[in-house]
Amino acid sequence: MRIATFNVNSITARLPRLLAWLESSGTDVLCVQEAKCSDAQFPHDALRELGYESAVNATGRWNGVALLSRVGLEDVVKGLPGGPDYEGVQEPRAISATCGGVRLWSVYVPNGREVEHDHYGYKLEWFRALSEAVAEDAAGPRPFAVLGDFNVAPTDEDVYDPAVFAGLTHVTPAERAALEALRAAGLSDVVPRPLKYDRPYTYWDYRQLAFPKNRGMRIDLVYGNAPFAKAVTDAYVDREERKGKGASDHAPVVVDLDLDA
């Protein structure tokens, strides 16, 4: 089974590229972040023509997550159980389902904006709720993984220049401790480093030629429990999909599983 996670940065803007990528990549299940549309605007029909069922948690022009599957889509849960509100709203940042016998979450962790901003505290609260919500599945016998845009670079090696990010969100000790708490629930990073290149970043800003200069960050992650990690046969960042006109500012992260191993 091939599972991937991809912050598409607007599924409507990226749809032709996304459909082509799904066909060429052979992906069975895709976790989507930043759909930036409502459920009614989501391209269910176009995806269905390719053989994908869709489960969506999206409410408008911001945020929004989804799961696309051609191997089944069962027991869908929209939202983060016990998750915090932001400005009185439960933002659409999480969705989970069982696909081909594997329980998966697609998450879009809050950005945090600035360390002094209320959104930073909200981000840490959101992480705490996520760790609590996944603990039972993480410790269970069924393959289970949380995939998505975590908006945290796990180590200094996951940013192109740590000095540039000093004092900023995405690299603070508290954010990295939140990732460690998630791992402590029974999950591990299943994408190995190094890959086929020195620094497997997943996000590059559109500005200042960040992608051609490889000034990126690794913030799109795949955290799996022991049965999931045991089944992983390969993992990679599809940098090619970040190239060219109309690309997202993120690249897909792809993981292959052998569930019979």
Q: Give the mean pLDDT of 171-178.
A: 98
Name the CATH superfamily for 2-257: Endonuclease/exonuclease/phosphatase (3.60.10.10)
**Structural contact between residues 114 and 175, judged by C-beta atoms closer than 8 angstroms:** no
Check if the beta carbon of residue 55 is closer than 8 Å to that of residue 64.
no
Question: CB under 8 Å, gap of 24 or more: what pairs does 180-183 form?
Answer: 181/127, 181/128, 181/131, 182/127, 182/130, 182/131, 182/134, 182/146, 182/223, 183/223
Q: Catalytic residue numbers? A: 108, 149, 250
CA separation for the pair 148, 146 (Å, rounded): 7
Query: For residue 132, what pLDDT is reported?
Result: 97
Q: For residue range 213-229, what is the model confidence (pLDDT) as tens digits?
A: 999 999 999 999 999 99
Annotated binding site for Mg(2+): 7, 34, 149, 151, 249-250
Domain spans, the chain: 2-257
Q: Is the pLDDT of residue 194 over 70?
A: no
